[in-house]
Chains A and B, each alone.
Chain A
């Protein structure tokens, strides 16, 4: 019998609620707290599901901590609020999994560097980069592990309905954090990120384009094999992740297009950008628990 680890979620918006749905199915993590700053539909939903709730933000969680301490806290608020949340949570000895683009802790893209992140047990804050980063950096890495990249650029296209207040407030942080992570863990000399928020009705599924510029002529067959292997790894925790069209090779440019279909846990399946972020955060926490128990 596996003993589940307790977790708190800060931020009852789109991302926090989607994460809650996934946590409820987890064999390793049990969500016990939902933390918001007002009595919102997200808080009410969590309360109905039997979670303890705070409508007084992080202070409410701290005040009630001893009633129900947790090992993991997921922050699904905003970059500006995150530093304060992180400090208070880490002081209590919990591990902070940061779903905002604050990037206080090391970047974590599970199929790219989860082992490296987990190997440092002193890490108390892990940053999940951004939804666009989770969807695209594995593809950048799939190419850069074959041959060096002088530049990689990603264009993440997401449905307007899936972009909540916190995400909109953090577009600049999205751009900067994603660009930095494309270089530092994607393996390109230079990174650039572009987000397109599409208001079309019905909403469009998340689609991402990844442009890689290689130093030398691309080794097409090796790159195709590497991409296929990486897509398979992604599908282990995001089943709706798939290539659309074949990668395009044009001199030194390799262009890859992917589509991310969500599980429809909270918003409908077009909102793959929620799933890929919350699935990556949950997977990180689950891996930590699994390793500890084996």
Chain B
């Protein structure tokens, strides 16, 4: 495969998918320190929360050490993350707001990206839209 001239975007999900082997028990402090290090290393997309994504907390899949909102606030609101970096989460149960799809201009993508729908149930956190953080659906 010839990758010359291709733009490669790193999307780290060890703080989301990596929650599974840890039975969703990664502490907030660990999430903050790892995400800070990923951010400082220049990783543009950092995925956090329950291993099954937003709303994954359940008897079936396991209850995490902290809520989705606590993890996201804890990671997003670190000063080093509130800037050029974006934090995202896997879609688990979408919300119902009508402001979607919308276009997000963000340098690492090279061109504006149309986000079809947000990635969080409104019951999980409505405040996310007001943050520097932008939820992305993949």
Q: Check if A and B associate.
A: yes
Asked whether A211 lies within 8 Å of B60 as measured between CB atoms, the reply is: yes
A155 contact from B60, B93, B96, Cβ within 8 A:
B60
Instruction: State whether the Cβ of B130 lies closer than 8 Å to any Cβ in chain A.
Output: no
Is residue A82 within 8 Å, beta carbon to beta carbon, of the partner chain? Answer: no
> How many interface residues does chain B have, given as a range?
under 10
Those of B61-113 within 8 Å (CB) of chain A: 61, 93-94, 96
Main secondary structure of the interface of B (DSSP, over half): loop
Within 8 A of B (CB), among A180-217: 192, 194, 209, 211, 213
Closest chain A residue to B56, Cβ basis: A194
With a cutoff of 8 Å between Cβ atoms, the chain A residues found around residue B59 in the complex are 151, 153, 211, 213, 253, 255
Chain B residues with CB under 8 Å of A213's CB are 59
- Count A-side interface residues using an 8 Å CB cutoff: 12
Nearest-CB distance from A250 to chain B (Å)? 10
In the bound assembly, the distance between CA atoms of A51 and B93 in angstroms comes to 39
Please, which residues of chain A bring their CB within 8 A of the CB of B127?
none
Chain B positions within 8 Å of A, measured between CB atoms, are 58-61, 93-94, 96
A-B contacts, 19 of them at CB < 8 A, read A151-B59, A153-B58, A153-B59, A153-B60, A155-B60, A172-B93, A172-B94, A172-B96, A175-B93, A192-B58, A194-B58, A194-B60, A194-B61, A209-B60, A211-B59, A211-B60, A213-B59, A253-B59, A255-B59
16 further A-B pairs in the complex, CB-CB below 8 A; given A153-B60, A211-B59, A253-B59: A151-B59, A153-B58, A153-B59, A155-B60, A172-B93, A172-B94, A172-B96, A175-B93, A192-B58, A194-B58, A194-B60, A194-B61, A209-B60, A211-B60, A213-B59, A255-B59
